Amino acid sequence: MRPAAFFAAAIGVAALAFAVASLIGNDYVFFAGYTVVQFIVLATAWNILGGYCGYVNFGTAAFFALGAYTTVFFHKAYPLPIPLLLVFAAGVSGLIGLGAGYLTLRLRGAFFSIATLALAVVLQTFVVNWDYVGGSRGAYVIRPDSIDVLGFQIGYVRYLCLIMLALAAVAVAIARTIERAKLGYGFAAIRDDELAAEASGVPTLNLKLIAATLSGALMGMAGAPFPYYTGYVEPASTFGLAYAVNAIAMPMIGGTNVWFGPVIGALLIGTLMQIATVTISSAVNLLLVGALLVGFVILAPNGVVGLIQAFLRVASPSRLEPRSIGLVALATFAFIAGVLEIVFGLAALTAPDPTGLTIAIGGLALAALWILSAYGLMTLQRWSPLIATFAFALSIPVGALHIWLDRSPTNIALWGGAIAIAIAAVLFLQRRDVRRFYQGFPAKEARA
């Protein structure tokens, strides 16, 4: 698909998402959705320098906050429309990205990463000492109620979502275009072996500077609407480590080699965070993201996408077969179920009564089983069909219990569907061709 066509498609998807959200009508969807889409932009931006070039940026917060504080500055000095703010934020953050890159990208990757951490702290210190934008007390930014867009009056938060969706489409289109172009080859060469890249004629410093500037600019743009979204901006949380971790975790969990890796990661972790923030404390939520990051980095370094790609390379190298698709779907379902189960298990852990405690432990055990199944199925472990069967089978009585506890129609529909999937899964895993497929591999074969 040519770049222009892809961009049109991306905009189309963004518009569709906005339309669906508008139909649901609930403002909460827009509030939560904004955060998730913002992370799509941040994750994609990070991945341009991190995943494509191999240079880890720990200072995502710095570029994001720069964009936010550019908005705060203009809000106090001379309020500007958001699209213009995006341009200014891109300029500021891009320039800082270029500058920081010029200072440090000639050195080893490790030094660059440490320098990005340094950058975040230095910038935070400056902002804390700059009273015009509020210093450590923070700044209030009054959000208008609604805004006129092409003759329609829409709520301001919805407008911000629209902007962020458009930005996400742009970011993703840029990432994909780079991937397939000459620039993408250069980036990949730098990532794999910088010395050999130089010897092959790749101007490594220039390309790295391009990546750093682009990445920084996109992050700044993601930050520009933020003050209007939250209404109150203060350095401690805006420069917070949470942004750095999420910007790294999402691409690494989703997959760093391809443009839809960060998108998948952002959707997965972003949604998880939204669910977790309402059920468990935000600290435990962050711990979970950190644990997922470490787990993926160790066990599945190429992320979900890499895992599935490696599986398909072995399972159906020439064309996609239904069996492989079924297994991928099962593994995905198991993984998501496992992660959700962890969240609910942790939530039950904090409940005061003893039945809550047993449910919590049971839930966490089941979650472990799910995740093990997903991992085993995708890495072609011999024992995986058995474990997966067990996991799915176990969930049938659990689902029944959930229905018995709460007989509202939505709950019955939800858990009824889950039970149906579980039964189908168990039957699928017993198929002779599936079992033979997994027995054909010695233990611990193809790692992702």
- CB 389, min distance to other proteins, A: 29
Q: Please, which residue, 132 or 153, has the CB nearer to other proteins?
A: 132
C-alpha dihedral, 72 to 77 to 79 to 82, nearest 10°: -40
**Smallest gap, in angstroms, from Cβ of residue 291 to other proteins?**
6
Of 22 and 237, which has the nearer Cβ to other proteins? 237
Minimum separation from the CB atom of position 369 to other proteins (A) = 23
Report the alpha-carbon distance of residue 99 to residue 112 in Å, rounded: 12
Q: What's CA 120's distance to the chain center, in Å?
A: 21
Do 261 and 51 touch, CB atoms closer than 8 A?
yes
Q: Which is nearer to other proteins, 246 or 373 (CB)?
A: 246
Contact 265, 43 (CB under 8 A): yes
Q: What is the DSSP string of 132-145?
A: GGTGGG-EE-PPPS
- What does the binding site for other proteins look like in residue numbers (CB under 8 A)? 50, 54, 56, 58, 103-104, 107, 109-111, 113-115, 117-119, 121-122, 124-126, 128-129, 182, 185-186, 188-189, 191-193, 195-205, 241, 244-245, 248-249, 252, 256-257, 281, 283-284, 286-287, 290-291, 293-294, 297-298, 301
User: Shortest distance, CB of residue 338 to other proteins, whole angstroms?
Assistant: 19
Q: How far is the CB of 169 from other proteins (least distance, A)?
A: 26
Cα separation, 124 vs 187, whole angstroms: 30
Q: Least distance in Å: CB of 103 to other proteins?
A: 4
Closer residue to other proteins (CB): 17 or 128: 128
The percent of the chain in helix, strand and coil, each rounded to the nearest 5, is 80, 5, 20
Whole-Å CA distances, 337 to 311, 330, 368, 443: 20, 10, 10, 25
Q: Which residues, in sequence order, are CB contacts of 115 under 8 Å at separation 6+?
A: 100, 103, 104
| CA nearest neighbour of 222 among 167, 160, 161 | 167
Q: How far is the CB of 216 from other proteins (least distance, A)?
A: 16
